[in-house]
Amino acid sequence: MADQELPQIYLITPPEIELSRFPDQLGRVLDATDISCVRLALATRDEDRISRAADVVRETCHARDVAIVISEHLVMAERLGLDGVHLTDGARSVRKTRKDLGDDAIVGAFCSASRHDGMSAGEQGCDYVSFGPVGPTPLGDGTIAEHELFEWWSQMIEVPVVAEGALDTEIVRSLAPVTDFFGIGEEIWHAEDPVAKLADLQAAMR
Question: Is residue 2 pLDDT above 80, yes or no?
Answer: no
Four-point Cα dihedral 160, 165, 168, 172, nearest 10: -10
| Average pLDDT value for residue range 63-86 | 95
Q: Residue 21: which pLDDT band, with cuts at 50, 70 and 90?
A: very high
Domain assignment present for 65: yes
pLDDT given at position 84: 98
For residue 4, name the pLDDT band (cuts at 50, 70, 90): low
Q: Could you tell me the CA-to-CA distances from 132 to 76, 140, 142, 164, 168 in Å, in that order?
A: 25, 10, 11, 5, 13
**Whole-number Å distance between alpha carbons of 190 and 110:** 23
In a domain, 134, yes or no: yes
Is residue 83 domain-resident? Answer: yes
Task: Tell me if 54 is assigned to some domain.
Answer: yes
Asked whether residue 1 is domain-assigned, the answer is no
Length of the chain: 206
Give the pLDDT of residue 138.
82
CA–CA gap between residue 109 and residue 129 (Å, rounded): 5
Write down the pLDDT at residue 74: 87
Residue 46's CATH number: 3.20.20.70
Single-letter amino acid code for the residue at 94: V
Asked if residue 3 belongs to a domain, the reply is: no
Give the count of domains, the chain.
1
Residue 14 lies in a domain: yes
Per-residue pLDDT, averaged over 7-30, amounts to 97
The mean per-residue pLDDT over the stretch 50-54 comes to 97
Tell me: pLDDT of 125 over 50.
Answer: yes
- Mean pLDDT of the 9-27 span: 97
Per-residue confidence at 188, pLDDT binned at 50, 70, 90?
A: very high
**Do the beta carbons of residue 160 and residue 181 sit within 8 Å?**
yes
CA dihedral (178, 169, 43, 39) positive or negative: negative
Task: Tell me the mean pLDDT in the region 152-169.
Answer: 97
pLDDT at 164 over 60: yes
Q: For 135-142, what is the mean pLDDT?
A: 84
> In which domain, by residue range, is 191 found?
8-205
Residue-level pLDDT at 3: 41
